[in-house]
Amino acid sequence: MKNNPPYFLRRARACLCSCVFLVSSAVLANASPPTRIACVGSSSTYGYGLTNRLHDSYPAWLQRWLGTNYDVRNFGVNGATLMSKGDKPYILQEAYTNALAFKPDIVVIYLGGNDSKHPLPGDTNNVPNNWQHKADFVPDYEALIATFRQANPGARIYVCDPAPAFPGRWGINDDTIHHEIVPRVHRVAADSHVTEIDLYAAFAGRKDLFQSDTVHPNETGARLLAGYVYAVVMHEAPPFGRE
Find how far residue 190's CA is from the centre of its chain.
Answer: 20
* Average pLDDT value for residue range 180-186: 98
Question: Is the CB of residue 161 less than 8 Å from the CB of residue 198?
Answer: yes
Residue 56 is which amino acid?
A: D
Asked if 22 and 110 sit in the same domain, the reply is no
Asked if 115 and 23 sit in the same domain, the reply is no
* Average pLDDT value for residue range 117-142: 87
Asked if 39 and 8 sit in the same domain, the reply is no
* Average pLDDT value for residue range 13-39: 62
Examine residue 239 and state whether it is found in any structural domain, yes or no: no
* Average pLDDT value for residue range 31-55: 96
pLDDT in tens, 54-112: 999 999 999 999 999 999 999 999 999 999 999 999 999 999 999 999 999 999 999 99
Torsion sign, CA atoms 206, 67, 97, 31: negative
- First and final CA of the chain: distance in angstroms? 61
Asked if 26 and 89 sit in the same domain, the reply is no
Q: Which structural domain range is residue 19 located in?
A: 1-31
Residue 47 CB partners (closer than 8 Å, separation 6+)? 53, 54, 56, 57, 58, 59, 60, 74, 76, 222
Q: Could you write out the DSSP letters of every residue in 23-58?
A: HHHHHHHHPPPPEEEEEEESHHHHTTT-TTHHHHSH
- pLDDT-based confidence at residue 241 (cuts at 50, 70, 90): confident
The total domain count for the chain is: 2
- pLDDT-based confidence at residue 182 (cuts at 50, 70, 90): very high
Which of the two residues, 126 and 145, has the higher pLDDT score?
A: 145
